[in-house]
Amino acid sequence: SQQGEEDPQALSIQEGENATMNCSYKTSINNLQWYRQNSGRGLVHLILIRSNEREKHSGRLRVTLDTSKKSSSLLITASRAADTASYFCATPLTGGGNKLTFGTGTQLKVEL
Amino acid sequence: GAVVSQHPSRVICKSGTSVKIECRSLDFQATTMFWYRQFPKQSLMLMATSNEGSKATYEQGVEKDKFLINHASLTLSTLTVTSAHPEDSSFYICSAGSGGSLRETQYFGPGTRLLVL
């Protein structure tokens, strides 16, 4: 299976704290993406980082990519209750055509 | 921009019946759409790629005669679950590529929850 793995599976923090999620993948990639999914809803694209980039920021999000270790991390700073969701990394599926394979996901719960 | 809708959002059907799920790109044209299924607390699994004007391509292990896909226009793809059984109960999500400079990203519909009794 080409599916990546995410760590931790579940994370519970207090509002205002930072949340870090990690993703490991198996094959060489040219980009990695992070998506968010609220319970029972579709996915929302958060950020894309290309293989020649090591770090990328978007608002309170910071993504890193280490292609030598085949891993990526997503950091959410100053978390809010509204950040409660599942977060998935996604990498291109071998065979092309813009197909994606998703990691196992991290369920984040931010408590007031 | 880049809004994808799905209909219905929720459907309950009897075992043996067929269910059609529609996926529409509302403000852009999508030559390619993707269909996923997701079991509770699990990740998305790609089922098939829907290609406008041609046959869909299915991932390994997905029965093409069970999950019929039609992509008749640049804004509509449909997934029909034929002769549904309880094990087909799942959350079905479609997505479409955005094109442009972020062509690798996908825009997702809100999903359809199917319950087969």
Encode pLDDT of B9-58 as tens digits: 999 999 999 999 999 999 888 888 999 999 988 999 999 999 888 889 99
pLDDT tens, position by position, A89-101: 999 987 666 889 9
Chosen from B32, B58, B105 to mutate, greatest number of chain A CBs within 10 A: B105
Residue of chain B whose Cα is closest to the Cα of A10: B41
The fraction of chain B above a pLDDT of 90, given in percent, is 74
Residue B100, pLDDT > 60, answer no
Confirm if B70 and B23 have CB atoms less than 8 A apart: no
pLDDT band at B64 (very low <50, low <70, confident <90, very high): very high
Distance CA B108, CA A50 (A): 21
A98 and B104 in contact by Cβ < 8 A? yes
Ordered DSSP codes for B33-93: EEEEEE-TTS-EEEEEEEETTS--EE-TT--TTTEEEEEEETTEEEEEE-S--GGG-EEEE
Do the strands B19-25 and B4-7 form a parallel or antiparallel pair, or are they unpaired? antiparallel
Residue A105 at interface with chain B, using a CB cutoff of 8 Å: yes
pLDDT score, position B51? 85
The closest alpha carbon to B109, from B51, B52, B13, B26, belongs to B26
CB contacts < 8 A, A to B, total: 57
